[in-house]
Amino acid sequence: MALTDARLGRVRPAPENFLSDEQIQSVKEGRRDFLRKAFIAASAAAAAPAVAHAQSAGDPAILELQPWSTMLGKPVAANPYGMPSMYERNLVRRESPGLTRVGGSSVAFTPLQGLFGIITPSGLHFERHHQGWVDIDPNKHRLMINGLVKTDAVFTMDDIMRLPSVSRIHFIECGANTGMEWGNVAVPTVQYSHGMISCSEFTGVPLKAILDMCGADYRKGRFILAEGADGSSMTRTIPMEMVESGEVLVAYGMNGEMLRPENGYPLRLVVPGVQGVSWVKWLRRIEVGDMPWATKDEAVHYIDLMPDGLHRQYSSIQECKSVITTPSGGQTLLDKGFYNVSGLAWSGRGKITRVDVSTDGGINWRTARLETPVLSKALTRFNIDWVWDGKPAILQSRAMDDTGYVQPSYGQLRAVRGTKSIYHNNAIQSWKVVESGEVSNVQVL
C-alpha cells in the first residue's frame, strides 16, 4: 500500500512559479531530469516524493540509467584523507550570528540534526575556544606535574604514548549548552540549541597513573589544577576524587586518530560527566593542591546566577538531559505517515536508564527504545515509532539516569533557578509540528 501512488499523504502545493511553461511541457513529454535541481533551488521542501510517483511507467531513477552506473569511478586515494559526499555539505559546524563578536572567543555548534548513533565525527565536534586555537608541535609539547607531589616531573608526548592506554566513549558538553534558551526561545534549530555537545572515543592514560609516578600526596592534595599551553592557558579546578576513580584521562586519541587541533592536539584532559571547560585542551600542566583555585572560568564565567543574586561556584556536573534531533526545529516533515523519531540522551552522573517521548506536549508519554551501547557518561541514542496524522503536535523527550534523576521541565527548572543562570540548562526541549509539517522551537512549562 505505502509503495503505490495511493499512499497515505497530502500533496503540498508547489512553490509559486516553481516550473516554467517550458518545463511543464517537458514533464508532459516525460523528461524530468532537471526536476531534482529545480526543486532544490525553488524550495528544499517536501514535494519530491509526489513527483517521483507522478509517472505511471515507473521511477526514472530506475528506468533511466544514471551517470554513476555508466561511468568509470575515481581511483583509490583520490582523497588521501577521505571527505564526506558532496551532498552532505550542509552538515557543518556553524556559529550563531551575534552570539559573540570575536571568532577567537566563540562557539561553533555541532549539526546534531543530521547525525546518527552516538559518535560525533571528529570534524564536526563542536568548538569552543577562549583565545583562538593553536596547532602545537607534538615534539615540543610537555606535560608538567607539580605541587603536592614528591617529585615535580616532566613528560614528553613520547613518554605519555608509551604508557598503558585505555579507550573510552564519553560525551563532552559545554556548560553553556542551551544557555541562550534560559529565558525564552532564541534559536531555530537543534544545532544552535543543543549543538555544544559531542561524543567521542578518547584514548589516553589515566591521570592517576601519572600522579602515582610523581608521588602525589593524596591526603592533603584533594584538588588538581589543569592548565593549557595556548595563549589563554586556561585553568580549571577538578576534584581529586575523580582522578582517583581512574576516569580522568590525559588523552591524545579521539575516534581512532590523534585529537584534532581544535580539540586540543596533542593532549587534553578528559573529565567524564563534567562540563567541557574542565576538559582542558593543549594540556601542559597539572598541579596538585589543597584548595580550589577560583580561576577566571570559575569566578567570572561558568558560575550560575540564582534568583537571590548569589552565583553557584564550581558547578561542574552536566545533569541528565535529552533532545529529539529528528524531527527538530527548522525542519519540515515530508508527508503524513510513519516516522522514526530519534534523539540523544546523556547524564553526567552515569548511565541513561529510560527515555520517554511525548507527542502531545507532555500530557501522555511512551517509552522509547534505547539503542546499544548504553554507556556511562556517554551519549545514548533513542528511537521511537510515530505515525503523524497531519495534525499539530508537540514532540518532547524526557531522560532518566541510574541515580533516579528525571530530566525536568522548564517550569520545574525555573522554579528553582530562575532564568538568568546561563549555564546548565537541562530542561525538556519541545518541538512544535504544524499542519504544513513545519517544525519549530517552542517552550512548554
Contacting another protein within 193-222 (CB under 8 A): 209-210, 212-215, 222
Binding of residue 441 to another protein (CB under 8 A): yes
Binding of residue 10 to another protein (CB under 8 A): no
Binding of residue 284 to another protein (CB under 8 A): yes
Q: Closest separation between CB of residue 186 and another protein, Å?
A: 7
Q: Work out which of 262, 283, 408, 425 binds another protein, going by CB under 8 A.
A: 408
Q: Work out which of 107, 334, 344, 384 binds another protein, going by CB under 8 A.
A: 334
| Stretch 355-374 residues interacting with another protein (CB under 8 A) | 356, 360-366
What is the largest distance, in Å, between two alpha-carbon atoms of the chain? 85
Binding of residue 282 to another protein (CB under 8 A): no
Binding mask 160-199 for another protein (x = CB under 8 A): --xx--------------------xxxxxx-xx-------
The residues that bridge with 107 in the sheet, in sequence order, are: 128
Point out which span in 52-60, 70-78, 258-266, 321-329 binds another protein (CB under 8 A).
Answer: 321-329
Which run of H or E residues covers position 295? none
From residue 435, how far is each of 332, 389, 394, 442 by CA, in Å? 10, 9, 12, 16
DSSP label of 111: -
Q: Closest separation between CB of residue 77 and another protein, Å?
A: 27
Binding of residue 69 to another protein (CB under 8 A): no
Q: How far apart are CA 327 and CA 275, in angstroms?
A: 27
Using an 8 Å Cβ cutoff, are 323 and 196 in contact? Answer: no
Q: How far apart are CA 314 and CA 242, in angstroms?
A: 14
Point out which span in 24-32, 59-67, 295-303, 368-376 binds another protein (CB under 8 A).
Answer: 295-303
Binding of residue 289 to another protein (CB under 8 A): yes
Q: Work out which of 14, 91, 166, 374 binds another protein, going by CB under 8 A.
A: 91
Q: Closest separation between CB of residue 3 and another protein, Å?
A: 16
3-state secondary structure of 157: helix
Q: Work out which of 398, 421, 425, 429 binds another protein, going by CB under 8 A.
A: 398
User: For residue 154, how many other CB atoms are within 10 A of its CB?
Assistant: 11
Q: Closest separation between CB of residue 28 and another protein, Å?
A: 26
Q: Closest separation between CB of residue 72 and another protein, Å?
A: 25
Q: How far apart are CA 403 and CA 385, in angstroms?
A: 27
Q: Which three cell numbers stand for residue 190?
A: 537543534
Q: Work out which of 38, 119, 218, 405 binds another protein, going by CB under 8 A.
A: 405
Binding of residue 383 to another protein (CB under 8 A): no
Tell me: cis bond preceding 307? Omega within 30 of 0 counts: no
Q: Which residues of 351-383 are buried (b: 16+ CB within 10 A; e: fewer)?
A: bbbebbbbbeebeeeeebebeeebbbbbbbbbb
Sign of CA dihedral 261, 267, 271, 275: negative
Binding of residue 240 to another protein (CB under 8 A): yes
From residue 205, how far is each of 61, 132, 137 by CA, in Å? 51, 26, 20
